[in-house]
Structure 1
Amino acid sequence: MSKPDILLIGPYPEWDLVELEAQYNVLKLYEAADRDAFVSQHAAGIRAIATRGELGASAELIGKLPKLELVSVYGVGYDAVNLDACRQRGINVTNTPDVLTNDVADLGVAMMLVQSRGMIGAEAWVRDGSWETQGLYPLKRRVWGRKAGVLGLGRIGFEVAKRLSHGLSF
């Protein structure tokens, strides 16, 4: 039995691509010199689109795939997927919520620390020798003992607030 055809809009990490290729006939749109011709050539057999949040799937592309059953988004966002076109045809749309929630929250807290302590400027100060000619790097704002506000308490905002309220013990 042959593997189902899926249209891969943009590259995926190797570890996930290996899994996809084991289960499906992966048609890599991003490698095609002429994307319209590539879609036309394979349209009749494509049953799913594998895409990323920022790449999505347009109504035009969806309309060219008569057997399309699924648009799978590698990531949380699906803003770039034309949901109306999918609804009209009964095409399911999936994503991967929570897959990076903790990583993004960690990064958000790290960025707050980097910004408030001036770490990027301090790193440049050391690299360009300013410490030798201009002395100590100017002190920046302390984070310890301060209050932080989190705008929006969705999955990520909640995790950021949790890290900040517990002194980063998570």
Structure 2
Amino acid sequence: MKKFNIDAYEEKLKKNPEYEGYTEKDGTEISEYYRLRPDATTDAFDRKQVETYTRIESRPDAYRTAYLFNREGNLISVAHYFSTALEIGIWQQFDSTGKLTGETDKDKEYPFALKDVIEFGKKHQVDFSKTGRVRRGYDSVYKANVWNLRWTVDEKVPEPYQQLFTLDGTTGKVLEEKKEGPPRRL
């Protein structure tokens, strides 16, 4: 069972009160922080007043895992993301003894999986780990779960534009394809 090393974290904060994390050799960025109890009497780190600790591991391929720990450093939950906010994978919740108490499969409604969407992007010369936007949800027009993809096409074209695709979340069938321009911030 993963634990948050409170002693090591406290030492890092003593050495550098602005400490927020580090980067591993493979390029994974580690963010670590704490949240104080609502009734805390200080904004500074005081382990007696901490409610939770968080560790986020952000890989170079845009996959992120967020771990939430209680004030004793025991794992409470695990969540997975792609890019900035796409909820993916199996999310888990644990009790104070470390026993698994719940799981939520964020991908269950999308048989055409994220790996398939990433492959679709590669076929269209876009690497979603570096650029573009991937979202998914229920679409009332198509009455289905869909993937909404958007990226900027600006290399070797006289006028850059936004490429948009809507894919069926079950089959991956292209439901809509359109171009918008000029590009806007994603």
The two structures share one fold, judged by TM-score above 0.5: no
TM-score where L is the length of structure 2: 0.27
Structure of higher RCO (CA pairs closer than 8 Å, 6+ residues apart): 1
Higher Rg of the two aligned structures:
1
TM-score where L is the length of structure 1: 0.29
* Bigger helix share: 1
* Bigger strand share: 2
